[in-house]
Amino acid sequence: MKNLPNQSRREFVKKTSLIASSLAAFPFISQAGHVNTSVDDSIKIALVGCGGRGTGAAMQALLTKQNVKLVAMADAFRDRLDDCFKALMSDDLSDWSGAAGNIKDRIAVPEENKFVGFDGYKKAIALADVVILTTPPGFRPIHFEEAVNQGKQIFMEKPVATDPAGIKRVLDAAVIARQKKLNVVVGLQRHYQNSYRELFKKYKEGLIGEITSAQAWWNNEGVWMNPRQYNQTEMEYQMRNWYYFNWLCGDHIVEQHIHNIDVINWFKEGYPVKAQGMGGREVRKGKDYGEIFDHHYVEFHYADGSILNSQCRHIKGTMSKVDELIVGTKGSIYAGAANIVDRKGKVLYQFDRTKENNPYQTEHDELFAAIAKKEYKFDDTERGAKSTMTSILGRLATYTGQVVEFDKALNSGMSIMPTKFDFNALPPLLPGADGNYPVAIPGVTNYFS
């Protein structure tokens, strides 16, 4: 639950009324009298990407009220798949979901349905009705395109790509997904969070007037780092330490800060036309940290002249803040406080915190409810793709130190992905003789000359 400020996954879920009420409705899954228990009628799920987020997403899918079965799993690494399977088969889900009990009766993944390697996703997808795509985001366009081509319903985590070419690939596949009426939910979970939904309603009712500016933050101490192990190929090392390589992660402005940027795009009901900014590596330096920056500051300019001032930082010992502020002609929205105040500071609206939900669970609840009813209800792809592109735009602006236009970047054809996926193949970025990786230099780096 890292995307919810100042709350751990366990603490947040324990406090949310949705989980409490849903578990009260069915003391545990196997006891749910209203659930269709016919195996033939079950909604079959394939999990592609078995890391921590994949484990959590699969668990949330299996905690829905529908008659669902996990039937296939795929990951590049066998140990990740095994750890995920073990967690899902646990007798106690409390570390992940805050709920006591287990979901063993909803898991039917024989050994032959556990696929390891770069191509296993195709076989896993073929066995399911719904696919959960939770690998490192560089692979998302490839996996999404395959799921669409196979006609599957989809949940995919954010971000949906790491470069403009990947965004175009996702947008092209989205056209086919709409033609096939495939539900697609993207894991920008604030769209499924009660407080944000209510704040958006109040904004549409005119409570803050017209938006004039916005601010967004994702400042904290950063995330894990996996050191290089003996006898690893370069491809395996980068995939094990994927957060620090742009072809896999996109930099933390894309992988994490997208949440806050997406909120502003949502309320603006549009996307920036250009961006400029600054960033670098002040603390998180050296060969263990690949190529990404540890701080970014970006001005995103919208067509109407309004500006989003965006900042994200991964530096220990600094101020932590994950939040959004939207300023209007009549008042301001403080998303973290879930309230709206007028220009003099008077509170005009305060969301009732007792009505907050667990949005990670809600996005699956609503998706699988629609699938069970055979409804075409969710089409998050374009929003997810364009908010991802906004974050990539920010990275390009900070890496170059130049003003970068949204449309020019999107249509540039820029790709940072490998040409071959194999553990013995070379990834696109290689270390120098000293073990350090090339890092962008603002004022020198130029992607569009």
User: For residue 30, what are the CA distances in angstroms to 26, 98, 107, 123, 369?
Assistant: 8, 18, 12, 28, 18
Buried residues in 306-343 as b, exposed as e (16+ CB within 10 A): bebbbbbbbeeeeeebbbbbbbbeebbbebeebbbbee
Q: Is-contact 285 323, C-beta < 8 A?
A: no
Q: What is the pLDDT of residues 355-414, one digit of tens each?
A: 999 999 999 999 999 999 999 999 999 999 999 999 999 999 999 999 999 999 999 999
Q: Which CATH number fits the domain that encloses residue 19?
A: 3.40.50.720
Q: For 128-183, what is each residue's pLDDT tens digit?
A: 999 999 999 999 999 999 999 999 999 999 999 999 999 999 999 999 999 999 99
Whether the per-residue pLDDT at 96 is higher than 90: the answer is no
Residue with tokens 């989809």: 154
Q: What is the pLDDT of residues 263-300, one digit of tens each?
A: 999 999 999 999 999 999 999 999 999 999 999 999 99
Find residue 308's DSSP bridge partners: 214, 300
Residue 428 within a domain: no
Looking at residue 22, what is its pLDDT?
37
Residue 347 forms beta bridges with which residues? 341
Residue 336: what pLDDT? 97
375 and 287 fall within a common domain? no
**227 occurs within a structural domain:** yes
Residues 286 and 261 reside in one and the same domain: yes
Q: What is the CATH number of the domain that holds 204?
A: 3.30.360.10
Q: Are residues 181 and 213 in the same domain?
A: no
Residues contacting 183, CB < 8 A, separation 6+: 153, 154, 367, 370, 371, 375, 376, 377, 378, 379
Summarize pLDDT for 4-15 with one digit per residue, the tens.
444 444 444 444
> How many residues would you count in the chain?
449
Question: Rounded distance, CA 279 to CA 298, Å?
Answer: 8
Confidence label for 91 from pLDDT (cuts 50, 70 and 90): confident
pLDDT band at 440, cuts 50/70/90? very high
Residue 435 lies in a domain: no
Q: Looking at the structure, do residues 179 and 202 belong to the same domain, yes or no?
A: no
Pair 236, 180 in one domain:
no
At residue 29 the predicted structure's pLDDT band, cuts being 50, 70 and 90, is very low
Is the residue at 325 inside a domain?
yes
Q: Are residues 80 and 201 in the same domain?
A: no
Residue 82 neighbours by CB under 8 Å, 6+ apart: none
| Same-domain pairing of 108 and 245 | no
- In whole angstroms, what is the distance from residue 94 CA to residue 101 CA? 8
Q: Specify the pLDDT at position 2.
A: 38
CA gap 191, 264 in Å, rounded: 12
416 within domain boundaries? no
**133 and 261 co-located in one domain:** no
pLDDT, tens only, 254-263: 999 999 999 9
For residues 99 and 37, the model is more confident at 99
Instruction: Based on the fold, state whether residues 317 and 174 are members of the same structural domain.
Output: no
Average model confidence (pLDDT) for the chain?
92
Alpha-carbon gap, residue 434 to 140, rounded angstroms = 32
Confidence of residue 92 (pLDDT cuts 50, 70, 90): confident
Return the ∠ at Cα 135 (arms to 130 and 140), rounded to 5°.
Answer: 75
Do 241 and 367 have their domain in common? no
Count how many domains the chain has: 2
pLDDT in tens, 316-341: 999 999 999 999 999 999 999 999 99
pTM (predicted TM-score): 0.91
Residue 36 has pLDDT above 80, yes or no: no
Question: Would 419 be classed as within a structural domain?
Answer: no
Confidence band for 252, pLDDT divided at 50, 70 and 90: very high
Do the domain assignments include residue 449? no
Q: Find residue 69's DSSP bridge partners.
A: 44
User: Looking at the domain assignment, is residue 425 inside a domain?
Assistant: no
What tens digit of pLDDT does each residue of 184-210 get? 999 999 999 999 999 999 999 999 999
Residue 44 bridge partners (DSSP) = 69
Domain coverage including residue 286: 194-353+387-410
How far is it, in rounded angstroms, from Cα 363 to Cα 122? 24
Does one domain contain both 131 and 198? no
Q: Are residues 323 and 376 in the same domain?
A: no
